[in-house]
A = this chain, B = another copy of it.
Amino acid sequence: MEYKKKVQQLIVDLKTNYLLSVSIDCVIFGFHAGQLKVLLLRWKETDDWCLPGGRILHEENMDEAAHRSLRERTGLHEIFLQQFHTFGDVLRYKNFSQQETLLKLGLPDDALHEFINRDVSVGYYALVEFAEVTPTPDFFTDECRWWDVDQIPLLLFDHNDMIVLALKTLRRQLTYQPIGYNLLPDKFTMPDLQQLYETILGQSLDRRNFQKRMLGYGILERLEERKTGGAHKAPYLYRFNKENYEKALADEILFVG
């Protein structure tokens, strides 16, 4: 069988070209229609969803491996990517019927230990611009799509835990670093930015105070243009001042919270 052969080949490839015992999992956050979203993959022939992941080549930095995996799943090149935790429990492989999966992949039972080892997995989270992503499944999956962060189903392995912790880390980061450069389009309105913050934090903020605060950090440039087409008063458009934005990222000032 052609397919079976390909899987065997893949396993050999994994064993020879990649670091053993370590994998990478990515929580890719996007923002659309007032909702924070996460990109998930569905395993072939199943209803089982999981996070996109990858492995590390022998001569490759771990961060580069994460970027590479992300590129493959989203088509994006320059993305904000950050390690948030490394998961090393033996029991990570819950919610997963190995037998069943092997069956579906058309593999013999004894391929089991070749296929799913006990790995340590390094969790990264990424912030990407929703509209620019082209979700792309990999060899083992046949669907890749966005899920609302508050409607995630039961995932394979410990991937639900990963999303929870990634979100927690993101919220914390929001309190000492600016966020938005990687989640919003180039030009955006103040209400857009506020909605992003509110969505991530899960609470509403005062419009006027929020604006004062954001402008106070000097990371925003107001453009001459306004956003037209809305049913109401046209809001100004803003753009991030990349230089000051980077400076704020480095300084780790207290932001919101």
What is the interface of chain A, defined by CB distance below 8 A to chain B? 19-22, 56, 58-63, 65, 83, 85-91, 118, 120, 122, 172, 252, 254, 257
Nearest neighbor of A65 in chain B, beta-carbon distance: B88
- Identify which of B20, B86, B87 contacts A21 (C-beta below 8 A): B20
Which residues of chain B come closer than 8 Å to A58, judged between CB atoms?
118
Cα A89 to Cα B83 with chains together (Å): 13
Q: How many copies does the complex hold?
A: 2
Q: A192 to chain B: closest CB distance in Å?
A: 28
Task: State in angstroms the CA–CA spacing of A31 and B178 once bound together.
Answer: 34
Q: Which residue of chain B has its CB nearest to the CB of A19?
A: B21
What distance in Å separates the Cβ of A14 from its nearest Cβ neighbour in chain B?
A: 12
- Please indicate the chain B residues that have their CB under 8 angstroms from the CB of A60 in the complex: 90
Q: Which residues of B contact A21 (CB under 8 A)?
A: 19-22
A188 smallest CB distance to B (angstroms):
29
Given A21-B20, A22-B21, answer yes or no on A88-B122 (Cβ-Cβ < 8 Å): yes
Tell whether, in the assembled complex, residue B90 and residue A59 are in contact, meaning their CB atoms are under 8 Å apart: yes
- CB-based contact A62/B83 at 8 Å: no
* Whole-angstrom CA separation of A59 from B88 in the bound complex: 11
Question: Nearest Cβ in chain B — how far from A144, in angstroms?
Answer: 25
A62 to chain B, nearest CB (A): 2
Q: Is the CB of B83 within 8 A of A61?
A: no
11 chain-A/chain-B pairs, Cβ below 8 angstroms: A21-B21, A21-B22, A22-B22, A56-B88, A58-B118, A60-B90, A61-B88, A61-B89, A86-B86, A86-B122, A254-B257
Looking at A21, A60, A83, A118, which has the most chain B CB atoms within 10 Å of its CB?
A21
